[in-house]
């Protein structure tokens, strides 16, 4: 078994730079590659960072399948990705030689080839606290696993039990969630913050994350990366809501994130010792993203404390819409696209830093 507990790992690789993608948004079929893919499929779970459109067909206001989202996407159309362009899972699928775009499992016309090369079950607004998804009206993390079981059945029908088991064991799995637990549940739901202190809430999140990983292993996953929570207190919306008159990073949000991350790293080690045939990676993205936000000019940005959509203070999801009065002139100068999610350029810079360090551990 190989265990990598290193900062940046999986999330940064997810964002590896790719250019010239050509794909359709309906079904999002694969691009033929000249070399053999480094993994048969990429399968991901989590929140809006890697949701390519699963929320489009759910009864929730946490959506972005309308302009100006997608303005810099390959088709220049919104797809349900919470970004001006591609999201992390698109980059990793392309880097692995699998396909240009990783499609949503829900609401897309998936071909057999789409299914066999992987999908995303991620839903914006979800988290490891079951209340998070309930409030947002989206699939919870356990419900994403139920959809994964449904997906496995479809794959078995296509290629048979034996080949399907091999595909599931050789595929790369990514998990990123927790930000919405901190920002949208703990600090905004009065009874949650009254019921839990920072430490106990971090433990609640950890319990959900640990259970998810264990269940995923039981379902045949053998190459898994779970990403820690970023400095969520430093995203524009949380600065506006909880950063005081100067809009500093919200210290409480970041404190919970750091507690969770430190415990998640230890939990990954514990689970890895238990499952010797599993490659489990903990990817800590906190410090790198904090540095990018604190020192944007080092990374080629000018603005990191407001988003690019509207005023950049609060606009996200339905508040970032075709009627939003102001869009920044140069998206490439901004770390954040809306008040919560990074720009495509920010994702690509994160990838450049780590691309070559992770692939050998997961393929």
Which of 48, 171, 179, 237 is labelled catalytic?
Answer: 48
- Residue 31 is predicted with a pLDDT of 41
**Mean pLDDT, residues 281-287:** 89
**Mean pLDDT, residues 335-362:** 79
Give the architecture (CATH level 2) of 3-362: 3-Layer(aba) Sandwich (3.40)
- Residue 80 is predicted with a pLDDT of 97
- Residue 22 is predicted with a pLDDT of 31
What is the per-residue pLDDT across 98-149, written as a single tens digit (0 to 9) for each? 999 999 999 989 999 999 999 999 999 999 999 999 999 999 999 999 999 9
Which of 47, 120, 341, 348 is labelled catalytic?
Answer: 341
- Residue 91 is predicted with a pLDDT of 85
- Residue 89 is predicted with a pLDDT of 87
**Lowest-confidence range among 110-124, 141-155, 291-305, 342-356?**
342-356
- Residue 177 is predicted with a pLDDT of 98
Which residue, chain included where needed, has tokens 């079950």? 121
Query: Does position 319 have pLDDT exceeding 90, yes or no?
Result: yes
Tell me the whole-structure pTM to 2 decimals: 0.90
What is the per-residue pLDDT across 227-282, written as a single tens digit (0 to 9) for each? 999 999 999 999 999 999 999 999 999 999 999 999 999 999 999 999 999 999 99
**Mean pLDDT, residues 211-232:** 96
pLDDT category at 35 given cuts 50, 70, 90 is confident
- Residue 132 is predicted with a pLDDT of 98
What is the per-residue pLDDT across 303-312, written as a single tens digit (0 to 9) for each? 999 999 999 9
Is residue 338 flagged as an active site residue? Answer: yes
- Residue 1 is predicted with a pLDDT of 40
- Residue 326 is predicted with a pLDDT of 80
Rounded CA separation 301/346 (Å): 9
Q: Return the higher-pLDDT residue of 70 and 30.
A: 70
**Mean pLDDT, residues 285-299:** 94
pLDDT category at 348 given cuts 50, 70, 90 is confident
- Residue 18 is predicted with a pLDDT of 34
Is residue 19 flagged as an active site residue? Answer: no
Is residue 253 flagged as an active site residue? Answer: no
Which of 47, 338, 339, 348 is labelled catalytic?
Answer: 338
Q: What is the mean pLDDT of the chain?
A: 89
Rounded CA separation 358/362 (Å): 7
32 burial (CB, 10 Å; 0-12 / 13-18 / 19+) is exposed
Query: Does position 220 have pLDDT exceeding 90, yes or no?
Result: yes
**Lowest-confidence range among 173-177, 244-248, 321-325, 340-344?**
321-325
Query: Does position 2 have pLDDT exceeding 60, yes or no?
Result: no
Query: Does position 10 have pLDDT exceeding 70, yes or no?
Result: no
Alpha-carbon separation of residue 293 from 159, 193, 255, 273, 328 (angstroms): 46, 27, 17, 35, 18
- Residue 219 is predicted with a pLDDT of 98
- Residue 356 is predicted with a pLDDT of 58
Query: Does position 6 have pLDDT exceeding 50, yes or no?
Result: no
Query: Does position 350 have pLDDT exceeding 90, yes or no?
Result: no
Reduce the secondary structure of 147-206 to three states and give it as a string.
HHHHHHHHHHHHHCHHHHHHHHHHCEEEEECCHHHHHHHHCCCHHHHHHCCHHHHHHHHH
Are the C-beta atoms of 13 and 66 separated by less than 8 Å? no
What is the per-residue pLDDT across 171-187, written as a single tens digit (0 to 9) for each? 999 999 999 999 999 99
Tell me how far apart the 2 most distant CA atoms of the chain are, in Å.
60
pLDDT category at 354 given cuts 50, 70, 90 is low
CA 211, distance to chain mean position in Å, is 18
Rounded CA separation 46/35 (Å): 29
What is the per-residue pLDDT across 57-74, written as a single tens digit (0 to 9) for each? 999 999 999 999 999 999
């Amino acid at each position: 078994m190989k265990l990598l507990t290193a900062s940046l790992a999986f999330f940064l690789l997810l964002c590896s730079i790719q250019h010239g993608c050509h794909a359709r948004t309906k079904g999002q079929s694969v691009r033929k590659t000249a070399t053999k893919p480094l993994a048969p499929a990429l399968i991901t779970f989590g929140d809006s960072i890697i949701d390519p459109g699963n929320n489009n067909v759910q009864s929730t206001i946490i959506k972005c399948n309308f302009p100006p989202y997608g303005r810099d996407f390959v088709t220049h159309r919104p797809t349900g990705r919470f970004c001006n362009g591609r999201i992390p899972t698109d980059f990793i699928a392309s880097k692995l030689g699998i396909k240009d775009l990783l499609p949503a499992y829900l609401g897309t016309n998936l071909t057999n080839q789409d299914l066999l090369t992987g999908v995303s079950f991620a839903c914006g607004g979800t988290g490891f606290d079951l209340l998070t998804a309930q409030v947002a009206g989206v699939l919870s993390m356990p419900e994403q696993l139920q959809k994964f079981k449904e997906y496995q059945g479809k794959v078995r029908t296509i290629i048979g039990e034996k080949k399907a088991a091999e595909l599931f064991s050789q595929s790369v799995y990514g998990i990123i969630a927790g930000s919405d637990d901190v920002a949208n549940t703990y600090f905004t739901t009065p009874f949650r913050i009254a019921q839990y202190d920072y430490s106990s809430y971090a433990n609640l999140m950890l319990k959900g994350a640990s259970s998810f990983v264990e269940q995923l292993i039981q379902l045949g996953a053998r190459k898994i990366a779970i990403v820690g929570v970023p400095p969520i207190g430093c995203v524009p919306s949380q600065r506006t809501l909880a950063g005081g008159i100067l809009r500093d990073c919200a210290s409480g949000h970041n404190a919970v994130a750091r507690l969770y991350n430190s415990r998640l790293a230890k939990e990954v080690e514990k689970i890895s010792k238990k499952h010797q045939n599993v490659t489990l990676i903990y990817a800590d993205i906190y410090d790198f993203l904090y540095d990018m936000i604190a020192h944007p000019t080092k990374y080629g940005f000018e603005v990191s404390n407001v988003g690019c959509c509207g005023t950049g203070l609060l606009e996200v999801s339905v508040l970032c819409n075709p009627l939003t009065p102001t869009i920044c002139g140069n998206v490439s100068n901004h770390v954040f696209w809306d008040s919560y999610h990074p720009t495509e350029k920010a994702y690509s810079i994160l990838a450049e830093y780590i691309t070559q360090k992770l692939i050998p551990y997961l393929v």
